[in-house]
Structure 1
Amino acid sequence: MATLITPALVCALRPHGEHGAIARLLTPGHGLLAGYVRGGRSRRLRPVLLPGNAVKAEFRARTEEQLAGLTVELEHSRAPLLAEPLPAAAIDWACALTAVALPEATPYPALHQALDGVLGAVEAAPAARGWATALIRYELLLLAELGFGLDLGRCAATGGNDDLAYVSPRSAAAVSRAGAVGYEDRLLPLPAFLLEGGAGEWPAILDGLRLTGFFLERSVLTDWRVDVLAARERLVDRLKRAVA
């Protein structure tokens, strides 16, 4: 019987059988892994298997094809955040996106580190503006890791790298203000913080969410996976109401 013991982040949980559950966890060295948790819907384990929690996971399976049995120990709980509408929406979306977008058992160490960073930012920041840019960068990284990265290094129209202000929805490449003349309404705004680093103001944050949302919906969240966009819509709606 193969056994894997690893730290992991809980991304999703669904009922299985009368009392059990199938959990999907993001691990640093083995990517997204699923396992059956006996009694996963019990009073003892429900608080452990919340999206966003950090756990120590032990997977056991007789063969690679078999769904592993999974036991978990809580290492860090983010349960208190789930009582707050904005942090709860951010955690729900980031974890749901990860659970449906990534292929299983494919290592994405950079995504594990980045998701842990986003969850930590949601936990630590006193307001949403402190973590919203980290979430947008996580979405960009996920797109890149899956082969759908945006080319923000130079203008698709002029070849230069100055005054980049838009992204072409067709080519996913940056466009400068000069190269965009006459086509601005066909392009997506490119927030400066994605090029310069640091935090962004709310109009730029909302532009960033629109940008990443367009490419996630077009390239990643297709077919049945489009259902998870409801979690993103809830998050964006709450952010807009918070800053209105």
Structure 2
Amino acid sequence: MEWRDSGILLTSRRHGEAAAIIEVFTQDHGRHAGVVQGGGARRMAPILQPGAQLAVSWRARLEDHIGTFSVEPIQSRAAGLMADALTLAAFGTVTALLSQGLPEREAHPQLYAHTITLANSLALGSDWLAEYVRWELLLLRELGYGLDLDQCAVTAQRNDLAYVSPKTGRAVSRAAAGEWADKLLPLPDIMLGGVVSSPENVVQALTTTGYFLEHRAFPALGHRQLPAARARLIAALQRRFN
């Protein structure tokens, strides 16, 4: 068994004296792990940095074996990602959610494309907050828990949408929410394709996406809680904006 692909490095850990086990999110083969012979050597350290774009060749005798990777660097994002603590926290959350949330060896081409775009924005230090929120919304959809935010679940109206039902994942208008508003999740404009109007609406958006990740998507995968990296990101956002 053998294939070639390109992918973004999610994790790398030492294996034995000189090898490393890496996990990459690839365009055509999804999240995939393999052994890199010599990956634990000092000369490989600059290449096997999380966020690196790699050309990978995977080979194994049988398809269900872990197999081995040959890797070639395409693009390093390490310097840009480590230039800012908030940026690094965001990318650490991306890699943790992908590593723990995606089924192994299952292609998600749209999510892959958005992940590359987001990683580039983070590494360049450009405005990435709205893009990150859209990335979590897409992750939920790819995991089978996409939110229905096009119209109000009660009135079918498309204006003044302000909440999300925690039971159905559908939007609810301000007028339709009525006395039930305090039992619903916030739906800031950023989740509807709007711009970041305030620091608070970023945290509100992540509160809502986080609810469905924690209570729907991740339990279905056998996880009791979200990666700790995501809580650190929320805390870093609140510190930065306060």
TM-score (norm: length of structure 1)? 0.92
> What residue number does 2:240 align with?
242
Any idea what the Cα deviations from partners look like across 1:27-79, whole Å, max 9, x if unmatched? 11111111111222221222222221111111111110111101211111111
Structure 2: give runs of 5+ residues left out of the alignment. Answer: none
> What residue number does 1:178 align with?
175
SS in 1 for 2:237: helix
Report 1:69-108 matches (<5 A): 69-80=68-79, 81-108=81-108
1:110 equivalent in alignment to 2:110 = yes
> What residue number does 1:124 align with?
124
Q: 1:9, 1:76 → 2: CA distance?
A: 9
Q: Once the 2 structures are TM-superposed, how far is the Cα of residue 101 of structure 1 from its aligned partner?
A: 0.8
1:198 equivalent in alignment to 2:198 = no
Any idea what the Cα deviations from partners look like across 1:81-105, whole Å, max 9, x if unmatched? 2253111111111011111111112
Q: 2:35, 2:222 → 1: CA distance?
A: 22
Q: Once the 2 structures are TM-superposed, how far is the Cα of residue 228 of structure 1 from its aligned partner?
A: 5.0
CA RMSD, Structure 1 to Structure 2 (Å): 1.7
SS in 1 for 2:167: coil
Any idea what the Cα deviations from partners look like across 1:206-227, whole Å, max 9, x if unmatched? 1111111111111223376456
1:169 equivalent in alignment to 2:170 = no
Q: Which residue type is aligned with residue 191 of structure 1?
A: P
Moved more, 228-237 or 17-26: 17-26
Moved more, 92-101 or 153-162: 153-162
Q: 1:164, 1:142 → 2: CA distance?
A: 22
Q: Once the 2 structures are TM-superposed, how far is the Cα of residue 117 of structure 1 from its aligned partner?
A: 0.8
SS in 1 for 2:54: strand
> What residue number does 1:139 align with?
136
Conservation of the 8 A alpha-carbon contact between 1:33 and 1:104? yes
Q: Percent identity?
A: 38
Q: Once the 2 structures are TM-superposed, how far is the Cα of residue 124 of structure 1 from its aligned partner?
A: 2.3
Structure 1 stretches of 4+ with a deviation exceeding 6 A read none
> What residue number does 2:59 align with?
60
Conservation of the 8 A alpha-carbon contact between 2:89 and 2:232? yes
Structure 1: give runs of 5+ residues left out of the alignment. Answer: none
Q: Which residue type is aligned with residue 43 of structure 1?
A: R
Q: Which residue type is aligned with residue 160 of structure 1?
A: Q
Q: 1:36, 1:231 → 2: CA distance?
A: 25
